Structure 1
Amino acid sequence: MVVLAVALFAALSSCAFGCSGNTNSTELGLWQMENQPLDVQLAAVFKEMESLKCEQTTLQQQHVALTQMHLKNHQKRAQEKVETHMVTYDTNHDDEEEEEEGEEDSLNLSDEDSKRRRRDPCFHYTVLDQAWRATNTTTRSKMCDRNVKWKGWYRLFYKGLSLQMPERCVPVDKCGTHAPLWLAGPHPKIRDGVVTRKVCGHWKKKCCAFPSTPIKVKKCRGNYYVYQFTAPTSCSLAYCADINTIVCGRCRRNQSCVSRDKINWRCKTKRMSSRKVHFFASFPGQITGKMNRIRYSKVLVNVGRAYNSRTGVFRAPVKGVYQFFFSTQTANVGLKTDLWLVINGYWVAVSHTHVTRPSTVGSLSTYMTFLRRGATVYVTHNHGRSWANAASMTIIFGGSLLAQSK
């Protein structure tokens, strides 16, 4: 019994020296009981052991609390990284090809166009450039987009290069998260406008183990997409950026980004559809002397809407080969009448009449040329007298696109 007491006393002393700040008081209290009976000494030893166990439990609880606090701080710092490199992008440039309506002025945007741009997410979005979102990236700290305060529209980038969401199942533990989110449906075309698409998270060999909240997508001119992201249904899920689609951001205006397996993408040149352009108009009255530009107000044909009856100007909507015709009619003896075809400010062809005896004389002229997009064509009445009425069709102007060029 004495041996057991000595052993317990030695163990308690060593623990007291190494574990507690009250070592001196514990040691002093035990040595004061040296001359006490053995049963009293053993009771004191067991009492001190119970006290040390309580202190040890308290220290373990404090250690667990500190560990949890450190873990929360680490998660908070990781989540703050999610919200970095989000830069709001607001542009006033327009990549869209504007249709020319034949107006000679008004290059500025109308109020309606300005309102349209303010509503269009293609001109107002946030740049989301985070390398860990790439489909070929694996990180130790798993991100969760549920904790991100999503607001408005976003455009995906990878180190400054434009790319888009994957349209295929992404392996688990990619895109900096456990269950990568991919677009479960094709990206829209420009004519589709804003569409809603289903989003899936891959987990445990199930490509749509986590059906997440649907998002909105729109294609913009320039071969890029904008997304209206929403918070996923759970953690850890994060939206992916398909590293294979970087090539899509390099496609030209006349190209589209295509893929057969949704892994390897390439730029494919679109087949150019032949534009149909035809117009025919007349002037239902008489012209005397000089008229800088004849406004043929009676329009019978205007396929392609390239001729403007208010200005009398035809504006080439596309590059190609065009053919024009114009005519005049005069009836005064000895009178000479000239109409000139004017292209980009140059007089290029004339319709001339000269009456030598009492009669009426008409003249029809044609002209074929190559024009670039935006070239202007009209007819000027240089001198003389041209006669017409609402039914005669003697002062006319027309033309057609014969062959479109690339």
Structure 2
Amino acid sequence: MMLVVYVSVLLVLFASIVSTQSGQGPYEMEVWNKDDQPLWEQLSTLQEEMESLRREQAILKHKQKALDQMLIIDENVTSLKQSGRPQLFSPPHLWLNEGDEDDEGDGIPNYDPCFRYSILDQAWRATNYTTKSVKCDRQVRWQGWYRLYYRGKSIQMPEKCIPENHCGTHSPLWLTQPHPNIRDGVVTRKMCGNWKKKCCAFQSNPIQVKACRGNYYVYRLVRPTACHLAYCADVNTLVCGRCSSNQYCTSRDRITYRCAARKKKIKKQVIHFFASYPGSLKGKVNRIRFSKVLVNVGAGFNKQTGVFRAPVSGVYQFYFSSQSGGSGGNATNLWLVINGYWVSVSRSDVKTSASIGSLSTYMTTLRKGAQVYVTHVTGQSWADSASNTITFGGSLLMQRRLK
């Protein structure tokens, strides 16, 4: 339909024939748009212009699609298959400030490679792959950061020596040092190539590695020192791609990997308390209600009951004291009670009509919720609001996770 319209316009503009009359007789003046070209040439030119417009329209659609992909900055990756070159969809201006370079002077990128990498998914790199058609990574023009995949699943580099003639090459390259943790950031790792039963027969150029959230790693690959050397993908680490966000991938022998739960960080708490009884005690008092509370950091002590309840599990130290008085030969005993068990005593035995102070300490490991209090068994103890001689206190020394 469009072609018919263009042809009609062309016929009107380029093929108008005007007849006129002059003193010398009639003649015809043909009006052409381009140097009196024949009509078939004009139609050919028009067809070429239409094809050019179609191509430009296709290019615009492709650019629009690429722009939409560039705006998805949380997963800016593309694939490097058996053939073809990697191209990142995210341009530098989405990651860098104006005037910045891709790399700083120390060679470390000023963007996060965990969100800007190419996918390297080539089955021949697997540690269980052998072939007579060997590859050499020295012939690859490496650019930027890469994440290893095996048949569409995330994978890691091996951390152990790989037998020769595996990973699609003569001398497989493996990491001689462990992968980093997330807190390590970008690290440099040495590479070795196995050949003739020597695990490090080839010491290749080192690479950079970064651990990313989600149990995967990105690698800044460089050209190896010789041929035939190639980077490996350890099929034993395929299980790591199935670890959840609250798990991490671990292995003792670098052969068998598994997902293990991350240890929850213990929120450190500060717990101290100190209380006194401003009065006199005589005989048996099952539980002393230390009503004068001077310190209660962590709110573990209840002055209404005189009981300390451990807010968290850990190692605690307690101390309790009394001032004995009265006639001679009157022995005074105070006991520290933990979960109903009498564990420590503060004893004083006055032979005369004088008074004497007694202080005891006790250290133990308690679970969260353990109850601790002091009982007065025998004798006579005295104190007032100023002396603070009948006391009970304690502190958390170290917080621990108990099974």
TM-score range, shorter chain: 0.3 to 0.5
The TM-score with structure 2 as length reference comes to 0.42
- More relative contact order in 1 or in 2 (CA 8 Å, sep 6+)? 1
Greater fraction of residues in helix = 1
TM-score by length of 1: 0.41
